[in-house]
Amino acid sequence: MRIPLSPLWPLCLLGLAFALPFSGNALSAAQDSEANTPELQKVRAALDKYRDPIRAIHDGYFSTVGCVEYPKPGAPGQVHYPAGGMGVHFFNVGLMGKLDPLQPQVLVYEPVGGKLRLVAAEYFVPLTPELKERPQLFGRPFDGPMEGHHPLMPHELKHYDLHVWLWKKNRSGLFAPTNPDVKCPNSAYTFKETAPALVPHK
C-alpha cells in the first residue's frame, strides 16, 4: 500500500532542515544561561583553582585512578544515566557530611592529551539513617539513592549525588550524571561500568 504524499512535502523537509540547527543553537543558549546564574558563576570562580589537579591534591582531593564510562543508558531499576563518560574522580573524604556549594566532595577530570582537565563538580551525600529526605542544590534534586559505583567504590556505599558540568558543555544537560563528549583513554584504568542500581531511602 502506498501512502500518497502531500504536494507540500518538499517545503516540509526544507523547514525541518532549517529547524534542526536552530534547535541545537537554542539548546546551547539555554544551557549557557543555566550555567551562568550568579550562584553557579560564584561556584565556578571558587573552584577554578582546581583546574590544576595538583592544587586539588594539596587541598585534600585524591584520585580514584580509574576513568569511568557508561556505554549504555541506565535500565529499569538503575539510575537514569544517559550513555556517556564521567571521567576521573577526585574525592575529598573530609567534606563528607557537608553540603556547601563551594565545597563539592568530588572533582571530575577528563584525560586529554596526557593531562587532566577539570570538567565537573560532584556533590556526594551518603545514605545514612540521619538523612531524612532527598538532598537538593541549585534548585535541583540529587540523583539516587543508589549503590556505590563498582569496582572503584563498594556497592555498600549507598548515596545520592549531583553532577554540575561547569567547565565542559554537556549535550545531556548541565546537571546530567554523564556527558557524551567525555572520553576515556584506551587503558587498563578505564572502566566501562553499568549504571548503579537504585535503592530505597530508608
pLDDT tens sequence across 66-110: 999 999 999 999 999 999 999 999 999 999 999 999 999 999 999
Residues of the chain with pLDDT under 50: 1-27
What is the predicted pLDDT for the residue at 35? 85
Per the structure, the complete domain to which residue 160 belongs is given by 38-192
What is the predicted pLDDT for the residue at 26? 47
Q: Is the residue at 19 inside a domain?
A: no
Q: Is the residue at 4 inside a domain?
A: no
Q: Is the residue at 13 inside a domain?
A: no
Long-range CB contacts for residues 41-50, cutoff 8 Å, separation at least 24: 42/101, 42/102, 43/101, 43/102, 43/121, 43/164, 43/166, 44/166, 44/167, 46/102, 47/102, 47/104, 47/107, 47/118, 47/121, 47/166, 50/107, 50/118
Q: Give percent of the chain above pLDDT 90.
A: 81
Task: Count CB atoms within 10 A of the CB of residue 85.
Answer: 21
What is the predicted pLDDT for the residue at 29? 62
Q: Is the residue at 25 inside a domain?
A: no
State the total domains in the chain: 1
